[in-house]
Structure 1
């Protein structure tokens, strides 16, 4: 497994590892490198990840990836029901407010909970982290509801090592990833849409923690 953290001007790669202890080391390393605070952490539900984040950054809010959650849910729904199930599920994660989403989740449970208990329970059991984005305006929601952007970055890294037979050491993998990172990030020329507006929204949402 390879996991990486990236930001403008830098990247860190961990070549192998998973679990709460591993993630705690990853998050602690980020803090040691100068990350002072995390407002919102977007995660994909890996075991121990959320706990590690909040152990190091106790005020961080966690948003679980909606796209990953949808894919997980559909594994437990037979193909002929997936279209109808998704139509009802969209009323949950595309709701305008948390209250509307929770009402629609109750309706989803009433309609599908008996037939697809695992799929529905996965939303109920993880609702606290799945619903964080409802606390923010639409521009911020679009940034935090999915981890697809970093998943795309990881896929590009995966292409670099896919055709290689073996590596003599973990360090050789890191060097290859570094070169690939330089190539990938050279194409990142477009700013995030409405970024100035988003910064102002964040400064209001986290006014006691934002320094300008």
Structure 2
């Protein structure tokens, strides 16, 4: 998908959805530890600046890397993406880090199409 977007819009910045990264990381954390892990994860993408985000990632990595290695690996792979978020102001970052607007629109279209279970026979 990234390559297709770059072909059409070569100057566009491609940032994958942070919410999906959060969900992917959280699925590797047990239910009893999930809220603590998510709080530490939010300290990364919700940091005031990139330096703080990197520091918060190191904290998360040291705290959770032993017991939840796969979750930390998901976050580590997303750090380049998270870094791109910090090119925006904090106010804009919260609008950019999720594709909820697009997903909501797709949901509306899907609901409409699901209601049309069959097409009328032209004959």
Report Cα offsets for 1:43-90 as digits up to 9, x if no partner.
Answer: xxxxxx112222443332122211111111111111111011112111
Q: How many residues align?
A: 120
Q: Which runs of 5+ in 2 are unaligned?
A: none
CA RMSD of aligned residues (A): 1.7
Identify which of structures 1 and 2 has the higher relative contact order when contacts are C-alpha pairs closer than 8 Å and 6+ apart.
Answer: 2
Return the TM-score normalized by structure 1: 0.52
Give the 4+ runs in structure 1 shifted more than 4 A.
none
Q: What secondary structure, in the 3-state scheme, does the structure 1 residue paired with 2:38 have?
A: helix
- Deviation, 1:124, is 0.9
Q: Which residue of 1 aligns with 2:36?
A: 84
Instruction: Please identify which structure carries the higher helix content.
Output: 2
Q: What secondary structure, in the 3-state scheme, does the structure 2 residue paired with 1:61 have?
A: coil
Q: Which residue of 2 aligns with 1:124?
A: 76
- Deviation, 1:112, is 0.6
Q: What secondary structure, in the 3-state scheme, does the structure 1 residue paired with 2:28 have?
A: coil
Q: Which runs of 5+ in 1 are unaligned?
A: 1-48, 169-212
**In the alignment, is residue 65 of structure 1 matched against residue 24 of structure 2?**
no
Q: 1:160 to 1:114 in 2, by over 3 A?
A: same
Instruction: Please identify which structure carries the higher strand content.
Output: 1
- Deviation, 1:167, is 4.9
Return the TM-score normalized by structure 2: 0.86
Contact 2:48 2:90 in 1 (8 A): no
Contact 1:65 1:130 in 2 (8 A): no
